[in-house]
């Protein structure tokens, strides 16, 4: 299996979704992604020089969308495609490593939560427990655990939104949704 | 049916997808995205939130775990984890103590239960252990031991390969591979870490931590050695020093560098440890000295006999007593492969003479 196969398996759903984001219907999006990977097969890619595979593939795909646009099959404006940015998991972590301000904002929002919400959030995201495991650990009912988690996350997002936002935080955490 | 952002964030399968921990979950969410391309943005937002929360809790917990009496610590620690509170035992603390005892007993029971399972399935044990400098109890899911004269290679759940040198212990924190990649080392080991940026690999040793993403490095931290070292062969690692209240990033190591911590503690007074970054050493055959043990090579590069003693004791499972202090301070440079302990001592005698007696597994060295 070549690395292109691996890319295809890992990233094609995301690329199709990006194409749909710019107005192509599902079938068109599938075709575009297929032909995109066929193009890649023709290219001589120096795989060992690519540090972040996901970011590389997404960027190359954006170029493909721009090419299509230029070829009069226009969907989405060129500027829109250019500025469209979905960070890969690796880029998200790198941003968090760089941006202490951002991390402490999230920590502050977390600290404002009532203890019952913090407890289940801590267990899920720090200790990595499944919801069932939290149920057995705490003795709470499954519904209570679910509600606490769900409410906790809602409140957390609310706190983050209401903060006098540092622009970086805003653009990072809420780059797409209103 | 599609999921809302809030539903995604707390969905166990979705969390596993975000950290790419489980093939099936990744497959499931890729199919979901293929079916519902319009959900891309919601999924990406949810992913950011999941990764941010995990990152924040990991970082803050690491920072706070070194703080002994921090009230802030309580913010992050879920009930049931032990915590030391310096206060007079009034009614409420008595109640808390009781609860703590119950919690501790529960952890112990769990551990005993689990150890039974492990005892019959593999050569490892489970037991709760205390990491020096941390106030909460870390629950280990697995403990791998090597005896003197023994070397072990194990592949962990995430694909990380560890070679354990003689007389060493490696403990994995509960949730290793899914929730964290925290390991605790006493002794020496070589790590070939599987790449996963969303789940950093952290080796905890006395006084510092080594944080890696995907790389090859050697950590030597025997309790009875004066020096504790981390050598980097490939990739990048960060050295985090335990400093009272926080972990402080000391340095990011470059390839072919090593971090050396010289323990300065004496019985009478305590001074700051001596920290340094130095290049790795290479022998005549351009073999790397720090990891020569992996190939059964014993290389002494200008080492005092007092340090050679520790290495030989571990490698050959013997006890060595050096009666004369001048002899103990003599420095030797030599390299051996597949030699008996007798042959090694004979060879060392040639460069600076001493006498030795072998009595079973005890060796006595004198002038």
Decide if A65 touches B, using CB distance below 8 A: no
Q: pLDDT digits over B298-323, tens only?
A: 888 888 888 899 999 988 888 898 88
Q: Is B236 helix (H, G, I), strand (E, B) or coil?
A: coil
* Same domain as B275, residue B344: no
- Do B284 and B147 reside in the same domain of the chain? yes
Asked whether residue B358 is assigned to any structural domain, the reply reads yes
Residue the block writes with tokens 């929002």: A109
Residue B93 lies in a domain: no
Name residue, tokens 């490939």.
B234
Strands B362-366 vs B319-322: parallel, antiparallel or unpaired? parallel
Cβ-based neighbours of A83, under 8 Å, separated by 6 or more: none
Domain with residue B205: its CATH number is: 2.60.120.1440
B42 within a domain of the structure (yes/no): yes
Residue B77 lies in a domain: no
Asked which of B239, B266, B290 is the last residue of a domain, the reply is B290
3-state SS assignment for residue B2 = coil
In the DSSP assignment, the letter for residue A123 is I
| d(C-alpha B26, C-alpha B53), whole Å | 20
Q: Does domain A99-173 have CATH number 3.40.50.1240?
A: no
Per-residue pLDDT tens digits for B248-278: 778 888 888 889 988 776 555 556 678 888 8
Asked whether residue B308 is assigned to any structural domain, the reply reads yes
Using only C-alpha atoms, chain B has a radius of gyration, in whole angstroms, of 24
Confidence of residue A111 (pLDDT cuts 50, 70, 90): confident
Q: Which residue has the tokens 């890969």?
A: A88
**Residue A38 in tokens:** 């066929």
Chain B CB within 8 Å of residue A133 CB: no
Domain ranges of chain A: 3-86, 99-173
Q: How far is A68 from chain B (nearest CA, A)?
A: 19
pLDDT tens-digit map of A40-82:
888 888 888 888 889 999 999 998 888 888 776 666 677 778 8
Q: Which residue of B has its CA nearest to A90?
A: B197
Contacts of B179 in chain A (CB under 8 A): 126-129
Shared domain for B286 and B319, answered yes or no, is no
Number of domains observed in the structure of chain B: 3
CATH number for the domain that contains residue B362: 3.55.50.30
3-class secondary-structure state, position B279: strand
DSSP codes joined into one string, B114-157 = HHHHHHHHSS-B---B--TT-SSPBPEEEEEEE-TT--EEEE-T
Q: From B27, B49, B65, give the residue that closes a domain.
A: B65
Alpha-carbon torsion B253, B259, B265, B270, what sign? negative
Q: Which two three-digit tokens encode residue B82?
A: 């032990």
A71/chain B closest Cα distance in angstroms = 24
Q: Which domain holds residue B59?
A: 5-65
Per-residue tens of pLDDT for chain B, all 367 residues? 889 999 999 999 999 999 887 788 989 999 999 889 888 888 998 999 999 998 888 877 766 544 433 444 445 544 444 333 333 333 443 444 444 455 555 555 445 444 444 433 333 333 333 333 333 456 677 888 888 888 888 888 888 899 999 889 999 988 888 888 999 999 999 999 988 878 889 999 988 889 987 788 999 999 888 888 999 988 888 888 877 666 777 888 888 888 998 877 655 555 667 888 888 877 666 678 888 888 888 888 888 888 899 999 988 888 898 888 888 888 888 888 888 888 888 888 887 888 888 888 889 998 8
In B, minimum Cα distance to A155 occurs at B6
Residue with tokens 């090597």: B146
| ipTM of model | 0.74
Return the residue of A nearest to B14 by Cα.
A130
- Domain assignment present for B175: yes
């Amino acid at each position: 299996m070549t690395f292109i196969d691996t890319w295809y398996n890992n990233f094609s759903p995301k690329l199709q979704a990006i194409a749909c984001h710019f107005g192509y219907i599902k079938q068109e999006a599938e075709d575009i992604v297929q032909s995109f990977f066929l193009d890649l097969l023709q290219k001589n890619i120096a795989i060992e020089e690519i540090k972040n595979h996901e970011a590389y593939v997404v960027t190359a795909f954006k170029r493909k969308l721009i090419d299509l646009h230029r070829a009069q099959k226009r969907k989405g404006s060129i500027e829109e495609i250019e500025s469209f940015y979905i960070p890969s998991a690796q880029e998200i972590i790198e941003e968090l490593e760089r941006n202490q301000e951002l991390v402490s904002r999230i920590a502050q929002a977390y600290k404002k939560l009532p203890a019952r919400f913090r407890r289940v959030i801590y267990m899920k995201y720090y200790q990595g427990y499944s919801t069932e495991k939290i149920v057995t650990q705490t003795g709470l009912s499954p519904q209570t655990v679910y509600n606490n988690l769900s409410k906790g996350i809602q409140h957390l997002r609310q706190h983050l939104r209401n903060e006098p936002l540092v622009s970086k935080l805003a653009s990072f955490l809420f780059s797409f949704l209103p | 049916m599609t999921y809302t952002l809030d539903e995604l964030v707390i969905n166990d399968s979705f969390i596993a997808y975000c950290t790419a921990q489980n093939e099936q979950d990744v497959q499931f969410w890729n199919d979901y995205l293929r079916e519902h391309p319009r959900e891309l943005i919601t999924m990406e937002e949810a992913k950011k939130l999941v990764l941010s929360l995990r990152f924040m809790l990991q970082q803050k917990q690491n920072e706070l775990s070194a703080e002994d009496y921090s009230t802030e610590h309580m913010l992050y620690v879920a009930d049931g984890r032990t915590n030391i509170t310096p206060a007079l035992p009034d009614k409420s603390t008595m109640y808390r103590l009781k609860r703590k005892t119950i919690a501790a007993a529960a952890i112990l029971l769990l551990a005993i239960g689990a150890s039974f399972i492990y005892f019959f399935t593999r050569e490892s044990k489970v037991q709760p252990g205390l990491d020096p400098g941390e106030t909460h109890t870390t629950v280990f899911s697995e403990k791998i031991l090597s005896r003197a004269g023994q070397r072990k290679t194990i592949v962990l759940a995430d694909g990380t390969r560890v070679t354990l040198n003689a007389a060493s212990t490696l403990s994995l924190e509960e949730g290793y591979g899914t929730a964290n990649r925290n390991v605790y080392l006493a002794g020496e080991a070589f790590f070939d870490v599987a790449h996963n940026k969303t789940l950093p690999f952290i080796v905890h040793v006395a006084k510092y931590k080594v944080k890696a993403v995907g790389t090859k490095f050697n950590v030597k931290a025997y309790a009875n050695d004066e020096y504790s070292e981390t050598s980097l062969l490939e990739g990048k690692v960060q050295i985090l020093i335990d400093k009272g209240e926080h972990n402080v990033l000391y340095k990011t190591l470059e390839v072919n560098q090593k971090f050396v911590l010289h323990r300065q503690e004496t019985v009478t007074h305590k001074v700051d440890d001596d920290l340094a970054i130095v290049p790795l050493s290479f022998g005549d055959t351009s073999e790397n000295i720090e990891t020569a043990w992996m190939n059964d090579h014993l290389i002494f590069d200008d080492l005092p006999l007092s340090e050679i003693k520790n290495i030989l004791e571990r490698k050959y499972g013997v006890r060595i007593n050096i009666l004369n202090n001048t002899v103990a301070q003599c420095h030797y440079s030599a390299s051996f492969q597949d030699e008996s302990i007798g042959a090694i001592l004979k060879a060392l005698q040639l460069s600076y003479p001493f006498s030795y007696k072998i009595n079973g597994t005890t060796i006595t060295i004198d002038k």
